[in-house]
Amino acid sequence: MISIGIADDDALVRRTLADLLARNEDVSVTWNAKDGQEALGYIRSPEVPAVQAVLLDIHMPQPDGLTLATTLQDEAPDLAVLILTTFVNDSIIERAMAAGVRGFVAKEDGITSLARTIRQVVDGNLVLSPTSSTFVTRRYQADQPDQADQPDTTPSPGTTPQPSSEAFPEVRLSEREQEVLALLVDALSNKQIASQLTLSEATVKTHVSTIIAKLGVPDRVGAAVYALRHNLV
């Protein structure tokens, strides 16, 4: 059973989320909080049962969801944090990733798949809502310099063309690792990747760890961002 806490200043949203999750046999809502301070009190209290995940409204008061996520990164690093938001922009994405947020749930995407998202996040996967995933992909693709602004690298007659270190980073991934990386960029969980590539979940986890180490990034989010920046997928 996965125990979660919900923090949102809208009582109707809290009740709707709790009712929706109550339909799942493996997810239980342990507490509801009207703001960040109340949520932090539940998390810190030895008298309140511990939860495995928290769903935080990004705009709730005292403190807001991202500020609370930053606090929890220090106080409860094993706690899976999901952000509930009505919109996504670059500031939200960057702050959330820095705060260790593992899941984005956009209200405009609907919440019918919320239980599945919670399961994946608790399992250690990064899960983006469709809106968030599209935004991240477009944002980091937009960071790539325009071809028209690139210097002319056409080799002079009689010279041997040299590969660009920017276009071809010093990273050597196997064909299978490239396949796994492409699916990481699509924000698939380890279980979903295993299903698509006909691998065991343990093998996928090993590939993901190897990719992260080879790219020199801290986590799977960093691997996805690196892949987009360097056109690896």
| Tens digits of residue pLDDT in 56-102 | 998 898 899 989 999 998 899 889 999 987 666 656 777 777 788 88
Q: Which residue has the tokens 């590939």?
A: 207
Closest CA to 71 of 46, 114, 101, 92: 101
Look at residue 141 and tell me if it is in a domain. Answer: no
Residue 48's domain spans which residues? 2-136
Q: Which of 170, 172, 192 is nearest to 180 (CA)?
A: 192
Confirm whether 41 is domain-assigned. Answer: yes
Tell whether pTM > 0.85. no
Dihedral sign computed on CA atoms, order 178, 181, 185, 187: positive
Q: Is residue 131 part of a domain?
A: yes
Asked, for residue 191, whether it belongs to a domain, the answer is yes
Residues in the chain: 233
C-alpha 19/C-alpha 13 separation (Å) is 10
Percent of the chain at pLDDT > 90 equals 27
Same domain, 83 and 174: no
Q: How many domains does the chain have?
A: 2
Instruction: Please indicate whether residue 134 or residue 124 has the higher confidence score (pLDDT).
Output: 124
pLDDT at residue 200 in the model: 87
